[in-house]
A = this chain, B = another copy of it.
């Protein structure tokens, strides 16, 4: 406290020296990344030596070590980009997603693969699966669950007919807020938002603004822009959008589900080893007879394997069969999961391991 402040010039010299060291280390790291490729005797494509379990492990160490002042999210983002650049020294990863550019799915691609990977905007979720299967894309990113609206059936159904594996999961969180120019609830006659956001905040709107007109516009950013020019209108948009557009925030977290998260799966063509904190997705087909589901699930309970999710779909394989998508904690190589799967035995008509992959990072 009593120390003299450093001058601006001194601080800048200090930063220059830090930058020099950071740059040397990044260059050295990039050199070692090439060495990994050599050790593996791999070909010329990033896909030959991309290891999601290793990346997840590195990023978890980054979070563990982080003492600020940067947030965990920012520090993870920077390391993601450093790894993305190191990996892209050979032919970069090609990642298919539901286009066009600028969508939520592309945000998920960038959060997981960084900006040095090639993004491949595609026309549909089916096409993402096809391109990965055909080898045109190394990986695909598809939405699988919205906490407000549940599982995305088309994505689940694709696993029934495709050979795709799951190599990762990505979570994007969005908190909806109500913003307006004037900042007074009683002035509001209209609420602008994207149709999906109106849907997500339906209950809150019905209770708190029962008589207002809800107007769907092309995006929440567009909604914020429109609200800015009106005394009697509000917009639903993310936390930052209100600040960005200079609006006052009337209410936060107004989505019906407090944890408004979209979950994406990274699909690929291989299974990867454990990262230390993994999730396993199984596709289990059972014959439609009493107790079948119970017989399938009880071995997991017995072996203390946590069940994270379960969703049933009519299987396309047989008339009276049902398919269950089951997510459990742990890697398929873990002894308890192995034991549970063996005990399940004849209760299931078919068990397919869709993938074991690192649990999503913040």
Contact = CB atoms under 8 A, between A and B. Distances in A.
Interface of A: 5-8, 11-12, 14-16, 18-23, 25-36, 38-40, 54, 58, 61-62, 65-70, 74-75, 77-79, 81-82, 85-86, 88-89, 91, 94, 99-103, 106, 110, 115-116, 118, 120-123, 136, 218-219, 221, 225, 240, 243-246
Nearest to A31: B69
B74 A85 contact: yes
Nearest to A69: B30
Contacts of A61: 16, 19
17 contacts: A15-B32, A19-B58, A21-B21, A22-B79, A23-B65, A23-B75, A23-B79, A27-B68, A27-B75, A69-B89, A74-B88, A100-B102, A100-B221, A101-B102, A101-B219, A102-B106, A118-B244
A79 B58 CA distance: 20
With a 10 A CB-CB cut-off, give which of A7, A8, A23, A29 has the most chain B CB atoms.
A23
With a 10 A CB-CB cut-off, give which of A18, A103, A225 has the most chain B CB atoms.
A18
A82 B89 contact: no
B240 A118 contact: yes
A218 B123 CA distance: 12
